[in-house]
Structure 1
């Protein structure tokens, strides 16, 4: 399932706790960044998940995004949603939609601020990616049920060469079924897509075309549906280094975690990462223990955070020199770079920009 609610690295939006309470899913999609499947077993115990939400709220996170796996298979989903509401956090659920039209699931979804449903092409492309006949028909029926129930819904589309020519039609479908937003996300080589989608990933020209199509669609639907694409030009990154590049450690140690990391990710196995799901282990905060998130922050800022700023600094330098693709998703670029060897200590000493913007340069 695509992750459509919290892929961005920084404080450009609300500080977000992205919680993946389980890896199990009713599907095994070809482009799934989490390699979820019906046979996956990683799952957070409810006590650990609730404890993480409480601590994240104390740290300043104002939004809870829940995905998976398929979050509607998590038995304690309602408790997570209710906990976040009680703490003043807005909640979003990202789902493949096939279970969303059921009465018991609708009751939980009605308590969320928004529900993002994945639609990844017209019927042939969507059903093939999902490995399920009539999957799109089931999603559209669920969308109608949610809208009739008064649920605020949006559509997330993972874009590849398999469906790039269908984006205009997908926008029309989303709008006609009551979606208030359409988010276009370029499928990246992570999770299952690393093996099954490499030949179908968008190249530079494909991303340029998608960016232009998204701009046109944003204008066409400006009165009824917000259309966005998870791409920015490298010149924007060069001008706003905070999209990739964190504040100095001495500053970060004095700030609340939500001011330093715009996105904090808790994965089904209990690992806690910055930026996005599956971020390189060399940069992670650690593993949830009996004490939850609380003990992880101070050691991380004093240690691995500097490594993360160095990684971002290297990528920012590339953007400043106009190297690499002209359009990029900052969190995907960071995530892919994090899979390689950790940056050297020499890289940590890269000269910092005189002004690290994007809300003081948090990831």
Structure 2
């Protein structure tokens, strides 16, 4: 009898191919292909590395999709501690970009760096999902909310300290969505809105005061104020102005990939590192409105597939993880395109699956792998 019970359990844990979300993986691969094509046009010398990264990430995504997410979640505290360790270590021994005092990457070689904050996004989604499942019934009590706030404040605070304001905002927005889905009281949300709206006005006033100590870097303040007040705060908006010009110049169908007969923004280096945070400007210029809409549609379909998986997840933890990955893709897409089109202040954040950058590609692929596994174990009807 005991033997039969063991057989039943092992049979239940077997994955069924019919539950594999081929649509999601095809959408992700399509986004990666579109990104590689654009990167090839902007920086042909980066194409080989990007293609190697894409190939490895597709394989990795499939491997992760076959690992039980509950098994991974058992070690959430180990992942949490490793995450804290890496974020602290990058502050001490990490290297920066063009801005003095920035510590975001581990420099391995001229062509290879690691950005811990990219992996922190996925780890924090996992950790928050496990915490919410464990405290589902008491989520809205002051004690549990305080524990959750401290639990998340440490890693998010380390990301802020790098400084990496854009990633911090994206992570906090993503985690808020997970907590909201986890049952956060609407009354508490209303109180937060009443507090945050005037606090935002106070924040804008505060960063304009020269005689007060500032917690943001000068370039961050200039980007925020430059977006509100224009060129009065220096040339911080030039990059965005050039990006808008590039997108507009593509018109309906674009100038074409690797077009040598028509002048493009990349030819004049008006946008530095266009293959990363401002890759959407290259998409708009070379693929036009049609190409831009196709890429936005693919990313939207990825988000919708994540939401669909969340709705059919077999447990709350799976629902929270799938929701978090979908929210992360949505927020990063919104912020990246918002910056490229000057709707938001200039800040650096990759366009999911499109931008050049191995850390972002690996972390996002791992997240999609988790979503695929959740779908493999979805509720039976």
- What's the TM-score, normalizing by structure 2? 0.28
**Larger RCO, structure (CA 8 Å, separation 6 or more):** 2
Larger Rg: 2
In terms of fraction of residues, the more strand-rich structure is 1
- What's the TM-score, normalizing by structure 1? 0.29
